[in-house]
Amino acid sequence: MQILSKSLPKHVAIIMDGNGRWASGRGLPRVEGHREGSNAIKRLLDTSLEIGLKVISLYAFSTENWKRPPSEIHSIYSLLEEFIDKELDDIHRKGVKIIHSGSRDKIPKNSLKKVDLAIEQTQKNKSIIVNFCLNYGSHAEIVHSVNEVLKERSNKEKPLDTKIKEKDIENHLYTYHLPDVDLLIRTGGEKRLSNFLLWQSAYAELYFTDVLWPDFDKDSLHTALDWFKSRVRKFGDVKQK
């Protein structure tokens, strides 16, 4: 299906939820849901390239997900490493640029090494930016940003009591170089943001679907983009922008 680039969201963010339920609905261990979830990511990248999307953010692991049993955390990071081992060359060949948003603390060393390799290998690619949100939380990101602003000010010996502006915070978010989120998709039926890109999604269109992440396919993405096209976006004005 051809979509006019004018009506395409500049930045699509996805809360990939429902892996566990996908697995338990089939009598399988939760890890199988995460495995099928990584296949859904592969599919999503191909469809996004086909459509011509330029920036997608994927919520892969939240700062709150450390509360999960260690065995599930371990399998999520093992699957991530496996995904990079298997898919990096193909992803690179397709022109995907991988970046990471989130804190590096606590991410297993080996996973971090592979993520860094993916970032380094794909840094010059231009087809699409895939922002991997790993150990990501909006609250942590905003606190990080404010601390960076303060650090910068103390280095420059600027008065620390000068008011912090919106731009200052924006410029120090992990995503400072990305456009704001236009379309935020959450799969898995829950209608909440779970600490994802809160600042960047201030004016995003919010799309919630019951489809579980491992079942999210090409048609599911097209349905979401069609819905986005029909939105009237005014950003506080009286006229459509």
Active site residue 155: no
Are 204 and 182 a contacting pair, CB within 8 Å?
A: yes
The one-letter amino acid at 113: K
Contact region with Mg ion (CB under 5 A), list: 17-25, 87-95, 156-164, 219-227? 17-25
Cβ burial of 53 (10 Å; 0-12, 13-18, 19+) is buried
Active site residue 39: no
> Footprint of ligand IPE on residues 41-60 (CB under 6 A)?
59-60
Q: Which residue is nearest to ligand IPE (CB)?
A: 20
Q: Is 17 in the site for Mg ion (CB under 5 A)?
A: yes
Of the candidate residues 10, 21, 42, 43, the single one contacting ligand IPE (CB under 6 A):
21
> Footprint of ligand IPE on residues 174-203 (CB under 6 A)?
188, 190, 192, 194
Q: CB under 8 Å to 131, separation ≥6 — which residues? A: 55, 56, 57, 58, 99, 100, 101, 175, 178
Are 161 and 128 a contacting pair, CB within 8 Å?
A: no
Please state the separation of Cα 166 from the chain's center in Å. 22
Residues near ligand IPE (CB under 6 A): 15-21, 59-62, 65, 76, 188, 190, 192, 194
Residues near Mg ion (CB under 5 A): 17
Q: Which residues are catalytic?
A: 17, 65
